[in-house]
Structure 1
């Protein structure tokens, strides 16, 4: 019998209050809305352990088609915790990193959607320009501009 193998990471999920604001932000970043749906029913609650859940989702896809971001807005049950303003060294904290072709242009566009730098834009050797920013609702996002041979 052969051992099961990991095929890929399908998506990363983030829970938000405003699906419209999050979709607008990630669209500006360069992702495309693949679809929106409301997920509910006994089968969905069995997966998450939340039982009678009702959640609106928006699936965003990167330009290369390989990565997806699932944005979720829970309608029921109510949200029970808020980790959006936790510092980057909090246990279990989530950060998504995106590679961009022009970090300065991307930052300028995302600032129009309320994005704020967490620290500074820094250069790591001759490989990357990097930064962390807070997007809609304080979500932590990383941006990396590949330099030289990393492009």
Structure 2
């Protein structure tokens, strides 16, 4: 058995419209939206009565995808946005950008907050972590040279 590819990363959000706007501002494209419910959804999740709306976002190159999920039933469990970057579990979602300063400036009005600061790593990259929708950490990397 060999995997074929990583299909997507899924993020549960409380405000689907705001999350879509955040990732569109970053440069992702809305691939599609759909309500999702039914017996097979309940069974795969191990929860009865699931009703969600999803928005599938994709990177401009078409290779990366991000599923944004808004739970209507049952209600989503509150996240812990104050969690530090060293907490166990999914750490961050990283995107390569061509201008990190412009990307940060464009995301701040969409609720992004810098976790630390924009830094230069050796002569290779400028990097930063932002707290994005639902408290997730969005990492940005601008390759230098």
Q: Name the TM tier (shorter chain).
A: over 0.9
Q: What number of residue pairs does the alignment pair up?
A: 145
* In the alignment, structure 1 residue 141 sits paired with structure 2 residue 138: yes
Q: Select which of 63, 85, 89 maps to 2:86.
A: 89
Q: Give the TM-score normalised by the residue count of structure 1.
A: 0.91
Q: CA RMSD in A?
A: 1.2
Cα distance in 1 for partners of 2:75, 2:27 equals: 30
The C-alpha deviation readout for 1:105-146, integer Å capped at 9, x for no partner, is 111111121211110111111111000011234321100001
* In the alignment, structure 1 residue 52 sits paired with structure 2 residue 44: no
Secondary structure at 1:64 match in 2: coil
Q: Which runs of 5+ in 2 are unaligned?
A: none
Q: CA deviation at 1:5?
A: 0.7
Mean CA deviation greater in 135-144 or 114-123:
135-144
Q: CA deviation at 1:31?
A: 0.2
Cα distance in 2 for partners of 1:55, 1:85 equals: 26
Q: Give the TM-score normalised by the residue count of structure 2.
A: 0.95
Task: Determine if contact 2:12/2:134 at 8 Å carries over to the other structure.
Answer: no
